[in-house]
Amino acid sequence: MIRLPMIYSAFHRPRRIAARLAKLSLVVALGFAAPGAPEAAQPQSTSHIVARKAITAPQGATALCRDHAWACRTTGGGSLPDRSVLKVAGQVNSMVNRRVRSVSDRQQYGLEEVWALPTRRGGDCEDFALLKKKELIAAGMRPQDLLIATVLDRNRGSHAVLVLRTSSGDYVLDNLRNRIMPWRETGYSFIRMQNPQRPNRWVAVLAGGVFGA
CATH of the domain at 165: 3.10.620.30
Distance CA 111, CA 194 (A): 23
The per-residue pLDDT for range 81-97, each reduced to its tens digit, is 999 999 999 999 999 99
Distance CA 142, CA 136 (A): 8
Query: Is residue 198 included in any domain, yes or no?
Result: yes
Strand (E) positions, the chain?
53-55, 146-152, 158-166, 169-174, 177-182, 189-194, 202-207
Task: Enter the pTM of the model.
Answer: 0.81
The per-residue pLDDT for range 13-66, each reduced to its tens digit, is 444 444 344 444 434 443 444 444 445 445 445 799 999 999 999 988 999 999
Give the structural domain span for 155: 50-211
Query: Is residue 173 included in any domain, yes or no?
Result: yes
Residues in CB range of 184: below 8 A, 6 or more apart:
47, 208
Distance CA 50, CA 127 (A): 24
Query: Is residue 44 included in any domain, yes or no?
Result: no
Helix or strand holding residue 64 (H, E): helix 64-67
Query: Is residue 168 included in any domain, yes or no?
Result: yes
Q: How many domains does the chain have?
A: 1
